[in-house]
Structure 1
Amino acid sequence: MRYSATLPHSPADTALARLTRAADKGRLWWAIAAALATRKGPTRRAALRGLTALAGASVAANLIGKPLLPRRRPAAEVVPPARRLEARPTSSSFPSGHAASAAAFVTGAALESPRLGAALAPLGAAVAYSRVHTGVHWPSDIGAGTVLGVFAALATRHWWPLHPDSRAHTTHPADAPTLCGGEHLITVVNPSSGSAEDPTDEVKRLWPHAVIVYPAAGTDLRSQLTTALHTHGGHVRALGVAGGDGTAAAVASVAADTGLPLALVPTGTLNHFARDLGIGYLADTDRALRAGSAVGIDLGEVEVDGASGAQGPARRWFLNTASLGGYPEMVRLRETIQRRHPKWPSAAIAVVRTLRHARPLHVVLNGRHMRVWMLFVGNGTYAPRGLIPSHRPALDTGLLDVRYLRADRPYSRTRFLLAAVTNTLGTSHVYAQRDLAQVEVTILDGNRRIATDGEVGPLGRRFRFRSRPSALAVYRPRNPAP
């Protein structure tokens, strides 16, 4: 502290004073996170994980550490007058909340993107040192805050495992025609998908010969696309889609029914399927089209029957997930909250809100009578195995990921929430996870609607889920983009 105080006056005094004020209440890191979140992939995940770690470190430092470990701050006279802050903090000096927040955000960002973490590390160190330079913290306060921030960032992995950047595995190559400039291609473009700009101009630039179809309001997209296929006769050799998961699922179902390969352009908000496939941009898809490179992936299928007035069972394909009970509401609510908040807190909030108003289902699941709050069926085995299934390591497992929360066990919702907080869902007696090739669910207390890939589906009483191996051919480059 004495050594820092003897440093000669320089422009760094003003810069460090401004920096320490900018970092008050984490404002500096929120601003940086907002800028990082504009880019997809590891950069956006780094921003979200950094903010999550920052929140945990701030709570630990300011609401737990400071009240339990009171310590007087250095006297104002310790440093020269030019360095002193106009509004000196009055809370306990130990530990440093600024240092904890800086270390938490930088470490959290580094877990997702080591290069980004290295770039932010000098700024984090400067924020931490600024508290000593301005005379409001002892060096040991900074050290304790830094350790606390690092541990808070590392702790996020307990609930939110790191997302691998590698694309999902599949061992099934698929036959697909080589197409240049969008020849023999019908492409559905959804301008309203996600928060990105309308992709029409970019699609027309790379695929000038493609036939573009826009979803019509009030019209079923599958029927609209089927009509377009009949109009163009046998000239269509592939289907394309530029949109989010919901639009992609509708086009993929038509592609699977007609045996045409699918060219995917992710322009939605979350793009779960595109992330698993390893497709990030239109250029990736165009590269695969020109090379005729495609893979076969599994699809989920559900047959729905038992609704009054239905003419035989209704069949639906799903790319990602299908769900009954509270899961559809929970997923929609989580994705809405997640646009402004980190992922696992968003999931926790959505689960609590959904379970408060959920109504249990009395079902027969593969011959077993039980009551469940919600049922989730994933196309393929999802990871991690806890609360937030976020990605699929493989797209050719031939299995469904079946998860349900039982309602016929005492205090099942409370036990579920405790297991989610402690990350012990794998050993919970109220939450089950199974990998099955097929599952049949019969609802005994009325008809319910099913949700597939985030869209509400038909009303029914009996639901038969199956995995359909290699049911869809999708264009994908042989090698991931550098």
Structure 2
Amino acid sequence: MRQSRAAAHGTGVGTGVGLARLAVLALTGSVLVPLVVAGLRSVLWALAGIAGLALAAAGAWWTLAHTGVVRALGLALSVAAPLAVLAVYAAYGMLWPACLALALWVLAVACARTALAPAHATTERAVDEAPRHPWVLMNPRSGGGKVGRFHLVDKARAAGAQVVLLEGPRHQDVAGLARQAVAEGADLLAVAGGDGTQALVAEVAARHDLPFAVIPVGTRNHFALDLGLDRDDPVAALEALTGGVELRVDLGYAGDRVFVNNASFGTYASVVADPAYRDAKRHTVLRTLPGLLTGEDAPTLRMRAGQTRAEGLQALLVSNNPYGRAVDAARPGRRERLDSGLLGVVGVRVTDTAQAAGMVRGPRAAGLLRAGAPDVVVESDTATLPVGIDGEHAVLPAPVLCHSAPGALRVRVPRHRRRTPRAGGEPADWPRVARLALGRPH
């Protein structure tokens, strides 16, 4: 066992050094390419590109925060600004150097952050005995009818599972169905449905310390993706009904409501609360956002997470384990692990055009907040807060205490599945990358 761990550790270090060297080479190339082509004028070309992105961000703000003529102008600006920059680049022969330099920079950042991220694998436990009475809740409507297309009902029953279809009034009492299954002797609970349905059944499984399985048939299935499951092959997940391996992962709570992915406060939660959202998402967003961003109905949130405090936030996302950065080229919108015992926090505060333009700075933007903590308190000036819990609307009394329940859920997954690549959530620390590339990690 010690030799295996040492070998694994050595392999991880060697991989990190190789990625660090590739990151340094790619970063050097991203600087040299425009310098070779345009000399010191490349600085002006870079500034022109940044200005174009800032104008596009300002145009996007006008599009979302206003209506009528201002919205039309904003939409035109958000499209015309980057196109104008590209046209100027092309006219002066700088288009291909700019694209190559950008590609090298993205590669450099992805390699640097992956090289510095700690190697981690969720501890797996081999399943010694197959469940005797597995129970599966299936939503035939999820994912456009994947349950029917993949014949999951017949295949689950062939594996010895009791299958319950989520139809009619039962849709309103998912947790009640799961509790009834436990009372009748179920020793594994599984869900073939969306993330919101999974969260309700996962809470029951955690409360009774029963294994839980995910069969990815929903539209997004972010939880299944971060578990390494193939969302295009839900049949493979049925192995959990007869064997597989078991993981211990965290659950998140917003008040007394559990979530496997995230709880959203502020702008998004208010949009989800609109009854028209389910049938006309885009139209509802465009109709309601101006009032939510700049009008009298604009939500203002206060947040406390460990030593981090913020107020005046318009949107706040609290996630079950931190997400990688949205601009992370390696793994956008993904969680590198589900057992850190921490909640991820992402907050946004944009009140005018200048702040919107400043969002091109990415994680260093003044209007963007990122943090991680075991507990997060969300406050408002109202008695209640609308919350989007794994995409489902809820209203909770304020303030809302969010907390992580480390290792609360036993998850059964197939033995052979996609592994989550390493990634880090923070900006690349280039001095550390350089030291690692030179073989001096400390």
TM over 0.5: yes
The code of the aligned residue for 1:242 comes to A
Q: Secondary structure at the match of 1:198?
A: helix
- The answer (yes or no) to whether the contact 1:447–1:460 under 8 Å persists in 2 is yes
Q: Secondary structure at the match of 1:360?
A: coil
| Alpha-carbon distance in structure 1 between the residues aligned to 2:104 and 2:145 | 32
**Aligned residue number for residue 174 of structure 2:** 221
Query: Once the 2 structures are TM-superposed, how far is the Cα of residue 262 of structure 1 from its aligned partner?
Result: 1.0
**Aligned residue number for residue 366 of structure 2:** 429
TM-score (norm 2): 0.60
Alpha-carbon distance change, 354 to 278 in structure 1, aligned in 2, over 3 angstroms: farther
Alpha-carbon distance change, 441 to 241 in structure 1, aligned in 2, over 3 angstroms: same
Q: Which runs of 5+ in 2 are unaligned?
A: 1-78, 420-442
Q: Which of 220, 228, 239 matches 1:270?
A: 220
CA distances 1:245-264 after superposition (whole Å, capped 9, x unpaired): 12222221221122111111
1:300 partnered with 2:252: yes
Task: Let me know the Cα RMSD of the aligned residues.
Answer: 4.4
Query: Once the 2 structures are TM-superposed, how far is the Cα of residue 185 of structure 1 from its aligned partner?
Result: 0.9
**Aligned residue number for residue 357 of structure 2:** 418
Task: Report matched runs for 1:46-445 at 5 Å.
Answer: 170-174=121-125, 178-179=129-130, 183-199=132-148, 201-208=151-158, 209-218=160-169, 219-230=172-183, 233-234=184-185, 236-280=186-230, 281-303=233-255, 315-329=256-270, 355-356=293-294, 359-361=298-300, 363=302, 365=304, 370-384=311-325, 390-406=333-349, 412-420=351-359, 422-424=360-362, 426-445=363-382
- The answer (yes or no) to whether the contact 2:342–2:373 under 8 Å persists in 1 is yes
**Aligned residue number for residue 47 of structure 1:** none
Q: Secondary structure at the match of 1:285?
A: helix
Query: Once the 2 structures are TM-superposed, how far is the Cα of residue 60 of structure 1 from its aligned partner?
Result: 8.8
TM-score (norm 1): 0.55
Give the number of the structure whose alpha-carbon radius of gyration is greater. 1
Percentage of pairs with the same residue: 28
- The answer (yes or no) to whether the contact 2:305–2:372 under 8 Å persists in 1 is no
| Alpha-carbon distance in structure 1 between the residues aligned to 2:385 and 2:339 | 30
Query: Once the 2 structures are TM-superposed, how far is the Cα of residue 479 of structure 1 from its aligned partner?
Result: 3.7
The code of the aligned residue for 2:397 comes to G
The code of the aligned residue for 1:371 comes to G
CA distances 1:347-387 after superposition (whole Å, capped 9, x unpaired): 99998896355613254636968332122101101101669
Q: Which runs of 5+ in 1 are unaligned?
A: 1-57, 70-93, 96-140, 304-314, 341-346
**Aligned residue number for residue 457 of structure 1:** 394
Query: Once the 2 structures are TM-superposed, how far is the Cα of residue 445 of structure 1 from its aligned partner?
Result: 2.8
| Alpha-carbon distance in structure 1 between the residues aligned to 2:379 and 2:83 | 51
Query: Once the 2 structures are TM-superposed, how far is the Cα of residue 207 of structure 1 from its aligned partner?
Result: 3.6
Q: Secondary structure at the match of 2:269?
A: helix
Query: Once the 2 structures are TM-superposed, how far is the Cα of residue 266 of structure 1 from its aligned partner?
Result: 0.5
| Alpha-carbon distance in structure 2 between the residues aligned to 1:227 and 1:246 | 19
Query: Once the 2 structures are TM-superposed, how far is the Cα of residue 332 of structure 1 from its aligned partner?
Result: 9.6
- The answer (yes or no) to whether the contact 1:261–1:473 under 8 Å persists in 2 is yes
How many pairs are equivalent? 321
Q: Which moved more, 1:316-325 or 1:442-451?
A: 442-451
The code of the aligned residue for 1:186 comes to W
- The answer (yes or no) to whether the contact 2:326–2:333 under 8 Å persists in 1 is no
Query: Once the 2 structures are TM-superposed, how far is the Cα of residue 184 of structure 1 from its aligned partner?
Result: 0.8
